[in-house]
Amino acid sequence: MKKSIQVLLSIIILGALLLSACAPQALAPEVAATEAAAPEAAATEAAAEAQPVTLEFWTFSDYASDAGGDMMKTFISEFEAAHPGVTINITGKGGDELNTGIVTSAASGTIPDIYMGTTSQGALFTGINAMANVYDRWMAMPEDYRSQFDPNMISEVTPVDGEMYAMPFTGYATFLYRNLTVLKAAGIDPATPVNTWDEWLAQMKQIKEAGFLGMGSFYNDWWDFTNIYSGAATDDEWGIDFDAKTTKMSPEKYIETIKFLEAAKEYGTENGDQDQATTDLFLSDRLAFIVTGPWMDPTFTAAKENGLDYDYVLIPGATPDNKGGVRGTEFVTISPATANADLAWEFVTYICDEPQLLRWSEALGRFNGNQKAMAQVENSLLKITIDAAASSLLERPPHFTTAYPGNYYQVLQDNLAQITSGVFTPEDGAADLITQLNATIAGN
Amino acid sequence: MKYWFRKTLKHYLMLLPFFFFFSVFFIYPIIKGLNTSFFKWDSVNPAVFVQFQNYINLIKSRDFIISFTNILKYVSITVPLGITVAFSLALFVNSLKGPLSNFFRSAYFVPTMMPLFLAASVWRWMYAPEVGIINTALQAIGLDSINFLKNPAYMMFALIIVDVWRSAGWNMVILLAGLKNIPNDYYDAAKVDGANKWQEMIYITIPLLEPVLFFVIAQGFIFALQVFDAPWLLTLSTTQGYGGRLKALLFPVMDMFGRAFGVYKFGEASAYGFMLTILIIIITSILFIVRRKD
Amino acid sequence: MTTFFKFIKKHFSIGGIFKWTLAIIFLIMALFPIWWMFNIVFSEPGIPIAINPRLYPTSFSAGIQNIKDVLSEANVLAAYGHSLTYAFLTVIGSLLLTSMAAFEFALFDFPGKKILFALVLVAMMIPTAVTLVPTYLLVAKLGWVNKMQGLVVPGLASAFGLFMLTQFFKDIPREIMDAAQIDGDTHFGVYWHVVLPLSRNALVTMAILTFMTTWGNYVWPMVIAKNNDIITVSQMINWYNDPNSFMTVNLMMTAFLLAAILPIIVYIIFQRQIIQGISITGLKG
């Protein structure tokens, strides 16, 4: 009896140990984070200069590994060399994970000293006081530092005068990849410009008649759809007016876009524009057009080996001077609760400065907020991204003011599905869309 | 008394580890879930007591109604169809002898070994327009390509195929064991009485297989009611958008999941979970009651 | 020729032909998707499916290249490791818990046995999916999100496993245990030295079934293992499926194949146990 209890207990303990055996490895970073934060909070800023300081830095996982990670780690070691005693602890996280990480760390008061995020989520962060107003710090920077940056991207992180929440870091914009083999096979000279939807449709018709496919479907996702809608709408016809609690989407432009997509539908594939199936059709020389961002270029470049012949142009719009596309910005900022705000801000301004972003652009061809750095780089991918950014719509404007209702884009997606499945005519659908979106905003 | 206590205690000690984890990670969440369902809570801000508001919101919501309509449609097709297929396969394999029987049994069982998330991933590709093998085959014989996973008229059907494909092998093995368990004497006796194959089936096979059939049906219902993996993957759902075009593949667990992890309405999601629990208990109880009456 | 027809007539009826046709159609349907997945991996990419429908593998080297490419992705092998750890710990933990409890339920009488067992039976009817949200909240409160124990521990006390093992243990003859007890073995000793070795087959079967369900678990890792440090195979597949992963079809299918290969190997090795185990589920359940 006694022995059985002993054996039993030891089994339970063993089991518990076994289960927790895997814990230390997973626990380590979190423990390190909280342990590091505790002494820091106590230290005054002045003292921090002298004492060893660790700054927590959260970034996107592709900026913490591979080529982006190597570059970022170079910046960090340079910064650490210039600031003895300072350690910057970089952690890479996936997009969603980064967002939820900030939200939960804000709740528990452990926001990393420095972090990156997408500006489209900015309002979420300001809403939970996870962002510091860095306006005064920014204005204190020398004029020739400030003049390096793209004013548009600065205004994205500055919702109102006197409130600035971050530095713009990198960004993206979308454009149109063209399969030249398909175009030529359909008797289209790739040199012929496609500026308007009408010209684009005419090409797609010709492509379909030659036995190929035009483009994918843009009905599956709000993001896909926005790429096209952007070709009809202006910045004033997109996003939410939070003061009036109404959507800024234009029913007329919405109908116009739907009509174009309905016409293009019969020349294309029903696979979504972003779907792997569509990429496969493009790679196997059956589909002419894909709308996406610079991130697809490595895949297509690799496929050149198998004979892929492609280029990229701006996404045509309803009129010659309005182009399509979506753009987004990634910011870098400091925590409002950091004990080492000056140092953190210095690091932020360091990585955004021309010498760093010049290297960044050269190595990765990634679009960023530093105009001066980008002007020095000869990279066709970077060039098209810059051009595309000029006429693209933002993901969730206005940024850093109010968070979008959770199901705002779900309403748009449902409406698109209803129109394309024939539940609504485009006109009825557009009217319903505006009503539903306004109801969603009002009910938030 | 002391002796009795000592004699019984050892049994409870052996049960303790299991029931400790069982209580903490099964019973407690159910009770806690019931409690949470009366609060409005996003897991960050303090919870607010809202009485039955979550339940009322749910019942009124369009998605809730769609998901329950879908699940009824789905269960009422997939369970009978799945069992019919499995039963036919079992009868067929049972009619074979020796290595041939083993071969077919093993082969029909293979899909069951694929994790459901993989089955759905591969089938999503098989269904794809232009690149999927099914549409390629349809076009090769001169038919129109069908957008199985975007056209709401076909989406349920496409899901059921995946489901039957994956589950038929499992149920076949169970039914086959049941068939093998029926003593041959019964069939011999029936032959003497001049019964044909069909009569053998009605009067011997099905009645004697009833307990196994009941088990398979009950299990089928429980699995079908919590369907999640396959429709989630077939529609490429995310917490920001799920259920596919016109919500044709929106099911209760998906809706619950989205409310919890998409918009962080944990109270509402808990209410959802609790209602599902009740629904499943009711359905299984009905199954048991019907069986007892027979 | 006439003898051939005679042969056909003698051995096949119309019903027979119908039966066999159907049987073979089902056979193809059962195996084709897996075969097709394999063929996409072992084919040159970039060739339209209309030209090469991937009905058979066409390029061994392309397949090897695909596998190399996928394995070179940093998180693929890690995901494999996490899934193996997750499955292994779950198997060990749940076998230990359920076999101890099943030992009592199957072989002894004690007050409250009926009520406790009824509780387990009711629990079997309640799918884990419906308790997902409160269980997640509990695990989050314990700080186990993105931790291995968060994945493993909530799934240990499996009502189904307990029920199955109880059914298995009922077959153990009482005399053997009585003999052991007379020999002076303790209660726990009887379980450890007598019952466990006697039911090795049942335990192996349960271990395999638990392994398979854990490997195939999709929704729980999706909630708990969001971090790259702990991502499981199902989450890796989720990532490959996501159009935003920018993966091409051949790489996507390679990832699928790599995820399927382990269950298929397990099936080939343990086929007998798996099929027996499932058979018994129905007969005893």
Contacts of A61 in chain C (CB under 8 A): 228
Is residue B3, in this structure, part of any structural domain at all? no
Chain-centroid distance of CA A168 in Å reads 12
Which whole-number Å values give the CA distances from C95 to A40, C92, C119, C225, in the listed order? 46, 5, 19, 23
Q: Which residues contact A350 (CB under 8 A, 6 or more apart)?
A: A75, A79, A356
For the question of an ipTM over 0.90, the answer is yes
Query: Do C160 and C247 belong together in one domain?
Result: yes
Cβ–Cβ below 8 Å for A1 and B10: yes
Cβ–Cβ below 8 Å for A275 and C243: yes
Torsions phi, psi for C208 (to 5 deg): -65, -45
What string of DSSP letters covers A50-108? HS-EEEEEEEEGGGTSHHHHHHHHHHHHHHHHHSTTEEEEEEEE-HHHHHHHHHHHHHH
Chain A: closest CA distance from residue B253 (Å): 18
pLDDT of res. B2: 66
8 Å CB contact between B206 and B159: no
Residue B205 DSSP symbol: I
Interface residue B132 vs chain A (CB under 8 A) = yes
To which residue do tokens 């009585």 refer?
C178
Q: How many whole angstroms separate alpha carbon B1 and alpha carbon C31?
A: 63
pLDDT of res. A22: 38
Q: How many whole angstroms separate alpha carbon A305 and alpha carbon C44?
A: 12
Cβ–Cβ below 8 Å for B110 and C103: no
Cβ–Cβ below 8 Å for B36 and C122: no
Residue C59 DSSP symbol: -
pLDDT digits (tens, 9 = 90+) for B23-40: 999 999 999 999 999 999
Q: Which residues contact C104 (CB under 8 A, 6 or more apart)?
A: B11, B14, B15, C110, C113
Residue C127 DSSP symbol: -
Chain-centroid distance of CA B5 in Å reads 44
Interface of A with B in 189-228 (CB under 8 A): 213, 217, 219-221
Q: Which stretch of DSSP H or E encloses residue A287?
A: strand A287-292
Query: Do C176 and C62 belong together in one domain?
Result: no
Interface of B with C in 53-72 (CB under 8 A): none
**Tens-digit pLDDT string for chain A (444 aa):** 445 545 444 544 544 444 443 333 332 333 333 333 333 443 444 444 457 899 999 998 888 877 888 999 999 999 999 999 999 999 888 777 788 788 878 877 889 999 999 998 898 898 888 899 999 999 999 999 999 999 989 998 999 999 999 999 999 999 999 999 999 999 999 999 899 999 999 999 999 999 999 999 999 889 999 999 999 999 999 999 999 999 999 999 999 999 999 999 999 999 999 999 999 999 999 999 999 999 899 889 989 988 999 999 999 999 999 999 999 999 999 999 999 999 999 999 999 999 999 999 888 888 999 999 999 988 899 999 999 998 899 999 998 988 898 889 989 999 999 999 899 999 999 999 999 999 999 986
Where are chain A's structural domains? 45-172+328-394, 175-324+405-442
Q: How many whole angstroms separate alpha carbon A149 and alpha carbon A375?
A: 11
Contacts of A407 in chain B (CB under 8 A): 263
Cβ–Cβ below 8 Å for A307 and C46: yes
Instruction: Return the residue of A nearest to C153 by Cα.
Output: A19
What string of DSSP letters covers A374-436? HHT---HHHHHHHHHHHHPEESSSSTTSSPPPTTHHHHHHHHHHHHHTTSS-HHHHHHHHHHH
Cβ–Cβ below 8 Å for C149 and A23: yes
Q: How many whole angstroms separate alpha carbon A20 and alpha carbon B272?
A: 33
Residue A317 DSSP symbol: B
Contacts of A11 in chain B (CB under 8 A): 17
The domain made up of A45-172+328-394 is a member of CATH 3.40.50.1580 = no
Q: How many whole angstroms separate alpha carbon B272 and alpha carbon A133?
A: 40
Q: How many whole angstroms separate alpha carbon A328 and alpha carbon A153?
A: 10
Pairing of strands A240-241, A326-334: unpaired
Is residue B6, in this structure, part of any structural domain at all? no
Question: Which long-range contacts link C36-40 to residues 24+ away (Cβ below 8 Å)?
Answer: C36/B122, C36/B126, C36/B133, C37/B122, C37/C253, C37/C256, C37/C257, C37/C260, C38/C257, C40/C249, C40/C250, C40/C253
CATH at residue B129: 1.10.3720.10
Torsions phi, psi for B144 (to 5 deg): -75, 145
Query: Do C241 and C183 belong together in one domain?
Result: yes
Contacts of A281 in chain C (CB under 8 A): 48
Q: How many whole angstroms separate alpha carbon A329 and alpha carbon A395?
A: 9
Is residue B10, in this structure, part of any structural domain at all? no
**Which of A5, A19, A297, A304 to probe the C interface (max C CBs under 10 A)?**
A19
Q: Which of C122, C128, C60 is nearest to C90 (CA)?
A: C128
**Which of C88, C98, C100, C147 to probe the A interface (max A CBs under 10 A)?**
C147
Question: Among the three residues C68, C84, C107, which one is the final residue of a domain in this structure?
Answer: C68
Query: Do C203 and C88 belong together in one domain?
Result: yes
Residue B252: how many CB atoms within 10 A of its CB?
25
Cβ–Cβ below 8 Å for A308 and C186: no
Name the region of C249 (left: φ>0; alpha: ψ -120 to 50; beta: rest).
alpha
**Which of A13, A271, A279, A284 to probe the B interface (max B CBs under 10 A)?**
A271
Q: Which residues contact A394 (CB under 8 A, 6 or more apart)?
A: A119, A120, A156, A235, A238, A239, A326, A327, A328, A329
What string of DSSP letters covers A135-173? HHHHHTS-HHHHTTB-HHHHHHT-SBTTB---EEEEEEE
Q: How many whole angstroms separate alpha carbon B14 and alpha carbon A139?
A: 69
Interface residue B222 vs chain C (CB under 8 A) = yes
How many domains are there within chain B? 1
Q: How many whole angstroms separate alpha carbon C54 and alpha carbon C62?
A: 13
- Average pLDDT in the B95-109 region? 92
Half-sphere exposure of A144 (CA within 13 A, CB side): 1
Contacts of A19 in chain C (CB under 8 A): 89, 93, 149, 152-153
Interface residue A414 vs chain B (CB under 8 A) = yes
**Which of B18, B44, B134, B150 to probe the A interface (max A CBs under 10 A)?**
B150
Which whole-number Å values give the CA distances from B82 to B160, B162, C209, in the listed order? 9, 10, 21
Instruction: Return the residue of C nearest to B225 by Cα.
Output: C127
Contacts of B170 in chain C (CB under 8 A): 278
Q: How many whole angstroms separate alpha carbon B148 and alpha carbon B135?
A: 9
A213, A217, A418 ranked by CB distance to B246: nearest: A418
Chain C: closest CA distance from residue B44 (Å): 12
To which residue do tokens 């997509």 refer?
A261
3-state SS class at B235: coil
pLDDT digits (tens, 9 = 90+) for B71-83: 999 999 999 999 9
Question: What confidence category does residue C10 fall into, taking pLDDT thresholds of 50, 70 and 90?
Answer: low
Cβ–Cβ below 8 Å for C187 and A18: no
Q: Which chains lie within 8 Å of chain C at 3 or more CB pairs, if any? A: A, B
Query: Do C191 and C92 belong together in one domain?
Result: yes
Torsions phi, psi for B189 (to 5 deg): -60, -40
Query: Do C127 and C242 belong together in one domain?
Result: yes
Half-sphere exposure of B227 (CA within 13 A, CB side): 32
Pairing of strands A114-118, A53-60: parallel
Q: How many whole angstroms separate alpha carbon C107 and alpha carbon B246?
A: 54
Which whole-number Å values give the CA distances from C155 to A242, C139, C256, in the listed order? 45, 12, 25
Q: Which stretch of DSSP H or E encloses residue A300?
A: helix A297-303
Cβ–Cβ below 8 Å for A1 and B6: yes
Query: Do C36 and C115 belong together in one domain?
Result: no
Question: Which long-range contacts link A298-305 to residues 24+ away (Cβ below 8 Å)?
Answer: A299/C246, A299/C248, A300/A177, A303/C45, A303/C46, A303/C248
* 3-class secondary structure per residue, C132-154: HHHHHHHHHHCCCCCCHHHHHHH
A3, A92, A283 ranked by CB distance to C45: nearest: A283
Interface residue A7 vs chain B (CB under 8 A) = no
Q: How many whole angstroms separate alpha carbon A20 and alpha carbon A221?
A: 42
Q: How many whole angstroms separate alpha carbon B68 and alpha carbon B79?
A: 16
Mean pLDDT of chain B: 91
- Please name the amino acid found at residue A137: R
Q: Which stretch of DSSP H or E encloses residue B111?
A: helix B98-113
8 Å CB contact between C44 and C62: yes
Interface residue B109 vs chain C (CB under 8 A) = yes
Q: Which of B206, B217, B220 is nearest to B178 (CA)?
A: B206
**Which of A407, A424, A440 to probe the B interface (max B CBs under 10 A)?**
A407
Question: Among the three residues C45, C68, C91, which one is the final residue of a domain in this structure?
Answer: C68
Instruction: Return the residue of B nearest to A271 by Cα.
Output: B129
Contacts of A281 in chain B (CB under 8 A): 130-131
How many domains are there within chain C? 2
Cβ–Cβ below 8 Å for A22 and C249: no
Q: Which residues contact B68 (CB under 8 A, 6 or more apart)?
A: B252
8 Å CB contact between B168 and B86: yes
Establish whether the linkage from the previous residue to B29 is cis, with ω within 30° of 0. Answer: no
Interface residue A349 vs chain B (CB under 8 A) = no
Cβ–Cβ below 8 Å for C263 and B175: no
**Which of C226, C232, C250 to probe the A interface (max A CBs under 10 A)?**
C226
Residues spanned by the domain of B209: 53-293
pLDDT digits (tens, 9 = 90+) for C92-138: 999 999 999 999 999 888 889 999 999 998 888 888 888 899 999 99
Contacts of B151 in chain A (CB under 8 A): 421
What six digits make up the tokens of A317? 């719009």
Burial class of residue B125 (count of CB atoms within 10 Å of its CB; 0-12, 13-18, 19+): buried
Contacts of A11 in chain C (CB under 8 A): 96
Q: Which stretch of DSSP H or E encloses residue C177?
A: helix C174-182
Query: Do C108 and C153 belong together in one domain?
Result: yes
Query: Do C83 and C184 belong together in one domain?
Result: yes
Q: How many CB pairs under 8 A join A and C?
A: 96
Q: How many whole angstroms separate alpha carbon B120 and alpha carbon A230?
A: 34
Higher pLDDT, A7 or C180: C180
Cβ–Cβ below 8 Å for C96 and A15: yes
Query: Do C80 and C12 belong together in one domain?
Result: no
Instruction: Return the residue of C nearest to B111 by Cα.
Output: C30
- Give domain A175-324+405-442's CATH superfamily: Periplasmic binding protein-like II (3.40.190.10)
Cβ–Cβ below 8 Å for B113 and C122: no
Angle at which helices C74-107 and B2-22 cross, to 10°: 150
Q: What's the CA angle centered on B257, arms B252 and B259, to 5 degrees? A: 95
Cβ–Cβ below 8 Å for B89 and C26: yes
Chain B: closest CA distance from residue A39 (Å): 25
What six digits make up the tokens of C49? 């499916």
Query: Do C48 and C77 belong together in one domain?
Result: no
pLDDT of res. C25: 94
Chain-centroid distance of CA B171 in Å reads 12
Interface residue A442 vs chain B (CB under 8 A) = no
Interface of B with A in 165-224 (CB under 8 A): none
8 Å CB contact between A409 and B240: yes
CATH at residue C141: 1.10.3720.10
Is residue B11, in this structure, part of any structural domain at all? no
- Please name the amino acid found at residue A115: Y
Question: What confidence category does residue C11 fall into, taking pLDDT thresholds of 50, 70 and 90?
Answer: low
- Average pLDDT in the B93-115 region? 92
Q: How many whole angstroms separate alpha carbon B228 and alpha carbon A47?
A: 55
Residues spanned by the domain of C21: 2-68
